[in-house]
Each structure stands twice: as C-alpha cells, then as structure tokens.
Amino acid sequence: MKALQHLRTINHHKRLVMEHCFQVGLYKQGFLHDLSKYSPAEFLVGCKYYQGTRSPNNAEREAVGYSSAWLHHKGRNKHHYEYWIDYSDSMERGIVGQKMPVKYVVEMFMDRIAASKTYQRKNYTDRHPLEYYERGAGNLGEMIHPETAALLHKLLKMLARDGEKKTFAYIRKVVLK
C-alpha cells in the first residue's frame, strides 16, 4: 500500500480546494471539503489502488466493477452532482439530477480545478478542467440538472478563456451574490 503518497495527494488536493474556496468567500466549504477521504472506507481503498496520476476510485472500479470508496464519497459530499440524484416528481422521468445550490456548484468547480492540478501537475492549464468535463458530459443525460450543468460549464469555459483571477472574481461578485 502507498499510504504516504496517497495521503500527500489528498492533502495537496484539499489544500488547493481550500485556497480556491477562500478566494471566493466559501470558508466553511473550504475547511470541510472532502473530509470523508480520511475515513477508513475511502482512505484504505485509496491506498490500495493509488497510482498518483488519476483517482484510485477508477482503478478500484476497473478491478472489481464498482468503487466502494466513490459510493461512500459521493453520498457524503454535496459538491458532487451525484449526491443530488433522486426520484423526479414525475413517474415518467424516473431518477434525475436535482438542482444543486449554487455554493455547491462553485465548490464542484473548485474541486475540478484542484483535481486537474493535482493529476496534471506541471502540465496543468486552465483548459484541463473544461476538457475533462466535456469528455464526460455527453454521457450524463439527466443525471445532472440542466441549470447545474449550465452554470458549471459556463464557469469552466470562463476559466479556460479568462483564467482563474477573472473567473474567481466573477464568482465572488456575481455568482455568489
């Protein structure tokens, strides 16, 4: 097991999210972000499947067909759109993504930046979070609420085009007001 390397990765990611959240005024979320990653249900799996270049949850999923760590994580962290999946108010639509509160959409945005920085390291650019999202967005269907998806995509495109400083100022002055 690669416990020390995994712990360093978690700490690095969490520190980045915290710094980014603080820049837009989300202090509580910055402090509390991803605390479940330190729980045995997530940490031990992360150590076992650690690679350093991508989420250990992907490796666990490949090995056993699902990720127990991810199922634990998404059910405890409101900044994941998967946390907000529930039955719709109409029987015809079934299970759908519910609209996320804006502060959690912003935390999700910061989480995606930090994950890209953590795994891309010196190769990171402000386009990476957008590119990663767009590779998977076509498969989301109704799992993410359209308004949530639109805000996240808008912020990711703004980041790619205008950079962190301008995007974070926009979030602070417009999105979170």
What is the value of pTM for the model shown?
0.94
Identify the pLDDT of residue 136. Answer: 84
- In the predicted model, is pLDDT for residue 23 greater than 70? yes
Which residues make Cβ contacts (< 8 Å) with residue 31, sequence separation at least 6?
A: 18
Closest alpha carbon to 77 in 104, 95, 58, 54: 104
In angstroms, the CA 88 to CA 86 distance is 6
**pLDDT at site 84:** 97
pLDDT at 59 over 90: yes
In this model, does residue 1 exceed pLDDT 90?
Answer: no
| Tens digits of residue pLDDT in 135-145 | 987 787 789 99
